[in-house]
A and B are shown apart, each in its own frame.
Chain A
């Protein structure tokens, strides 16, 4: 089945630094990838939709200058958390659809970000 790889799985960084998270579709091409954030015991919250070759579409309330998304190829999207603060500590998960709009999302394993 479709595999989405996300790296790193865990990262601890100091406040003020930037962290890059990679999301790769290993056995399929993904023109669209989705970035989610999940706080403990809460539901998934869509942050942005990453479109290959164009600008990402951010959800309301998500700062595009803080969460930089780059989708440079059909198999790779990156999320960079810039000038991270402790409140950015969360579980970040990427996902992609193997086929068209009606197909299920396949998730990466997630990245646990801790900002100290």
Chain B
């Protein structure tokens, strides 16, 4: 079967670093995506990993290990505006996206 898991909620301090983990199980894999979703808004694309390793994009980095079925999103120099839900999703063998429930990130001053 297929499943995907990420923490429900995390809290971090402004200026700090936070890592949001995501684990998944699937027989077919065509990449993993991270999206940011602010309350009441649609998701916006953050990153895409299809090969193992770290992809860095400004303050945000995403890591993938296909053998472990594991990914993380790393957010540096946290800002209050980073308070949002972060959605992990993978693309299965049919190129359909399987979504996690999202991790609500709360940033405190």
User: Which A residues are CB-close (under 8 A) to B41?
Assistant: 109-110
Min Cβ gap B42→A in Å is 4
The segment out of B14-22, B53-61, B94-102 that lies at the interface is: B94-102
Chain A count of residues within 8 A CB distance of the other chain: 17
Residue B70 at the A interface, CB < 8 A? no
User: Which A residues are CB-close (under 8 A) to B45?
Assistant: 104-107
Among candidates A42, A46, A91, A109, residue contacting B97 with C-beta atoms closer than 8 Å: A46
CB <8 Å contact, A102 and B50: yes
Chain B count of residues within 8 A CB distance of the other chain: 21
CB <8 Å contact, A109 and B42: yes
CB <8 Å contact, A107 and B43: yes
CB <8 Å contact, A104 and B101: no
CB <8 Å contact, B87 and A44: yes
Among candidates A102, A106, A107, A110, residue contacting B30 with C-beta atoms closer than 8 Å: A102
- List residues 2-52 of chain B with CB under 8 A from any CB of chain A: 30-31, 33, 35, 40-45, 48, 50
User: Which B residues are CB-close (under 8 A) to A105?
Assistant: 33, 45, 97
CB <8 Å contact, B42 and A43: no
Residue B105 at the A interface, CB < 8 A? no
Min Cβ gap A8→B in Å is 14
Residue B91 at the A interface, CB < 8 A? yes
User: Which A residues are CB-close (under 8 A) to B31?
Assistant: 102
CB <8 Å contact, B42 and A110: yes
Min Cβ gap A30→B in Å is 14
CB <8 Å contact, B95 and A102: yes
Closest CB pairs A-B (n = 7): A101-B95, A110-B42, A107-B42, A43-B101, A104-B45, A93-B42, A43-B99
In the complex, 30 of the A-B residue pairs with CB atoms within 8 angstroms, ordered by the A residue number, are A6-B42, A43-B87, A43-B100, A43-B102, A44-B43, A44-B87, A44-B99, A46-B96, A46-B97, A91-B40, A93-B42, A93-B43, A101-B91, A101-B95, A102-B30, A102-B31, A102-B50, A104-B33, A104-B48, A105-B33, A105-B45, A105-B97, A106-B45, A107-B35, A107-B43, A107-B44, A109-B41, A109-B42, A110-B41, A112-B40
